[in-house]
């Protein structure tokens, strides 16, 4: 009994220490976000998604709005960690109307509110993002901007959401897409699926509270080389202060629905719907919209091979793929997260995305003049 008491006391002190370290870290590494407006849109099931708008700057060139969608365990800050690491601000300066989407379960976005523990009856799953959140975001941005189509840029899972979106009826509302480190198959960051006990345990949790841990452990994670961290980004390719900001603001909890769905993938990694009736991976060939895929040479989550797998199977007439790393002329090899927050993204990654968007819009204008 006394041992249990000491364990309980130690646990309380550890929790308190992590909490206050997290509070101090967020204050120390705070930065001013670039978005100027926050919009909310209701989803078909009564949920709510948040959209953070970066209104276009001077010298407007972009004719279509851009939706940015974050990855797993991330949020709106996936594309904006300050002036030196912000795809959102880069697009804004180029004249684009940019909208950073937060999927349900993060930030200002919410699942439908029901009586009782809704996280058990209504988990936030990948299916929800594809079938509810993404269409709601596209409709809202179109309505607010008066545009008939949008561009979609997704990092990691945000790009996988785009794959699912382009396989359905909403595809005609997407002018083009850019996926950054988005595989066609699911490769979990940790080998949880190999242990039936761990798989069952993680499937019972309402969420993995990564945000609490990452804020509290900022001093350790940002300065000490941890082998598992290399799965998420190449630390040599990211400024320390950007890593610290990411740990404080970008990291989000992983929802129970995400855990269940990604653990229930097939043995070869194919991503299927929660009920198993639909395979997003097997239907990649239904994608026909213009698509630009970007991969990192040292990405251990979305390996170049897994991105090339998508490229080979989609039916788009207009498609491109590039793998960024030393062998292809970049200053450093790119991992997973540093494809959007790396040291040289403003020179090596973002200009490629801008060129793609502008080329798509020029093609549309040429087609319109010819019609």
Work out the pLDDT band at 105, boundaries 50, 70, 90.
confident
* Position 322 in a domain: yes
State mean pLDDT over 48-57: 93
pLDDT value at residue 195: 52
* Position 12 in a domain: no
Work out the pLDDT band at 119, boundaries 50, 70, 90.
very low
- The answer to whether the beta carbons of residues 74 and 251 sit under 8 Å apart is yes
* Position 66 in a domain: yes
Return the structure tokens found at 316: 């788009």
CATH code of the domain covering residue 320 = 3.40.50.1820
Query: Does residue 120 carry a pLDDT above 50?
Result: no
Query: Does residue 156 carry a pLDDT above 90?
Result: yes
CB count, 10 Å around CB of 300?
15
pLDDT value at residue 121: 44
- The answer to whether the beta carbons of residues 102 and 136 sit under 8 Å apart is no
74-88, 188-202, 261-275: which is most confident: 74-88
Pairing of strands 174-180, 150-155: parallel
- The answer to whether the beta carbons of residues 72 and 254 sit under 8 Å apart is yes
pLDDT value at residue 188: 60
Which residues contact residue 215 at a Cβ distance below 8 angstroms, ignoring those fewer than 6 apart? 18, 21, 22, 23, 25, 26, 247, 248, 251
Domain holding 167, by residue range, is 31-370
* Position 7 in a domain: no
Chain-centroid distance of CA 60 in Å reads 26
Pairing of strands 98-102, 174-180: unpaired
Return the structure tokens found at 325: 């790393």
> Total domain count for the chain?
1
pLDDT value at residue 284: 97
pLDDT value at residue 7: 73
Backbone angles phi, psi at 320, to 5 degrees: -140, 155
Query: Does residue 239 carry a pLDDT above 50?
Result: yes
State mean pLDDT over 145-150: 95
Query: Does residue 299 carry a pLDDT above 90?
Result: yes
Residue located via tokens 């009920």 = 275
Query: Does residue 200 carry a pLDDT above 70?
Result: no
pLDDT value at residue 258: 84
Crossing angle of the two packed helices 134-145 and 157-166, in degrees rounded to 10: 80
Query: Does residue 356 carry a pLDDT above 90?
Result: yes
* Position 320 in a domain: yes
pLDDT value at residue 221: 65
Query: Does residue 134 carry a pLDDT above 70?
Result: yes
Query: Does residue 128 carry a pLDDT above 60?
Result: yes
pLDDT value at residue 111: 80
Work out the pLDDT band at 79, boundaries 50, 70, 90.
very high
Burial of 148 (0-12, 13-18, 19+ CB in 10 A): exposed
Q: Which of 164-178, 219-233, 281-295 has the lowest mean pLDDT?
A: 219-233
Pairing of strands 98-102, 48-54: antiparallel
Q: Which of 5-19, 143-157, 176-190, 324-338 has the lowest mean pLDDT?
A: 5-19
* Position 2 in a domain: no
State mean pLDDT over 269-286: 92
Return the structure tokens found at 334: 């790119």
State mean pLDDT over 41-70: 88
State mean pLDDT over 319-345: 95
* Position 24 in a domain: no
Work out the pLDDT band at 267, boundaries 50, 70, 90.
low
Work out the pLDDT band at 201, boundaries 50, 70, 90.
low
pLDDT value at residue 179: 98
Work out the pLDDT band at 310, boundaries 50, 70, 90.
very high
Among 70, 81, 80, which residue's Cα sits nearest to residue 103? 70
Three-state SS annotation for the chain: CHHHHHHHHHHHHHHHHHHHHHHHHHHHCCCCCCCCEEEEEECCCCCEEEEEEECCCCCCCCCCCEEEECCCCCCHHHHCCCCCCCHHHHHHHCCCCEEEEECCCCCCCECCCCCCCHHHHCCCCHHHHHHHHHHHHHHHHHHHHCCCCEEEEEECHHHHHHHHHHCCHHHHHEEEEEEECCCCECCCCCCHHHCHHHHHHHHHCCEECHHHHHHHCHHHHCCCCCHHHHHCCCHHHCCHHHHHHHHHHHCCCEEHHHHHHHHCCCCCCECECCCCCCECCCCHHHCCCCEEEEEECCCCCCCHHHHHHHHHHCCCCCEEEEEECHHHCCCCCCCCCHHHHCCCHHHHCHHHHHHHHHHHHHHHHHHHHHC
Q: Would you mind telling me the total number of residues written for the chain in this entry? A: 371
Query: Does residue 82 carry a pLDDT above 60?
Result: yes
* Position 298 in a domain: yes
State mean pLDDT over 127-144: 96
With pLDDT > 70 as the criterion, what percentage of the chain qualifies? Answer: 83
Work out the pLDDT band at 368, boundaries 50, 70, 90.
low
Structure confidence by residue, pLDDT tens digits, 157-196? 999 999 999 999 999 999 999 999 999 988 665 454 555 5
pLDDT value at residue 2: 73
């Amino acid at each position: 009994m006394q041992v249990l008491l000491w364990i309980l006391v130690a646990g309380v002190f550890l929790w308190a220490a992590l909490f206050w370290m997290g509070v101090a870290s967020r204050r120390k590494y705070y930065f001013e976000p670039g978005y100027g407006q926050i919009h909310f849109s209701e989803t078909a099931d009564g949920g709510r998604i948040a959209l953070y708008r970066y209104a276009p700057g001077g010298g407007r060139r972009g004719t279509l709005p851009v939706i940015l969608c974050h990855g797993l365990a991330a949020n709106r800050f996936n594309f904006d960690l300050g002036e030196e690491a912000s795809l959102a601000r880069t697009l804004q300066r180029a004249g684009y109307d940019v909208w950073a989407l937060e999927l349900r379960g993060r930030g200002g976005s919410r699942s439908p509110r029901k009586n009782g523990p809704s996280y058990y009856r209504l988990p936030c799953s990948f299916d929800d993002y594809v079938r509810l959140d993404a269409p709601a975001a596209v409709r809202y941005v179109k309505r607010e901007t008066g545009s008939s189509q949008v561009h979609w840029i997704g990092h990691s899972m945000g790009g996988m959401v785009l794959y699912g979106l382009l396989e359905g009826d909403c595809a005609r509302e997407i002018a083009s897409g850019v996926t950054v480190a988005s595989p066609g198959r699911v490769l979990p960051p940790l080998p949880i699926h190999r242990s039936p006990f761990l798989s069952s345990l993680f499937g019972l949790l309402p969420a993995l509270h990564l945000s609490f841990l990452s804020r509290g452990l900022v001093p350790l994670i940002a300065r000490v080389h941890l082998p598992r961290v290399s799965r998420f980004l190449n630390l040599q390719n990211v400024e320390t202060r950007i890593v610290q900001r990411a740990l404080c603001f970008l990291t989000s909890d992983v929802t129970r629905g995400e855990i269940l769905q990604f653990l229930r993938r097939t043995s070869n990694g194919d991503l299927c719907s929660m009920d198993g009736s639909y395979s997003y991976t097997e239907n990649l060939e239904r994608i026909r919209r213009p698509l630009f895929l970007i991969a990192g040479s040292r990405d251990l989550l979305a390996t170049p091979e897994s991105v090339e797998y998508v490229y080979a199977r989609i039916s788009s007439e207009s498609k491109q793929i590039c793998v960024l790393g030393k062998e292809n002329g970049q200053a450093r090899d790119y991992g997973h997260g540093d494809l959007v927050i790396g040291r040289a993204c403003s020179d090596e990654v973002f200009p490629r995305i801008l060129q793609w968007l502008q080329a798509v819009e020029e093609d549309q204008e040429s087609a319109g003049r010819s019609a």
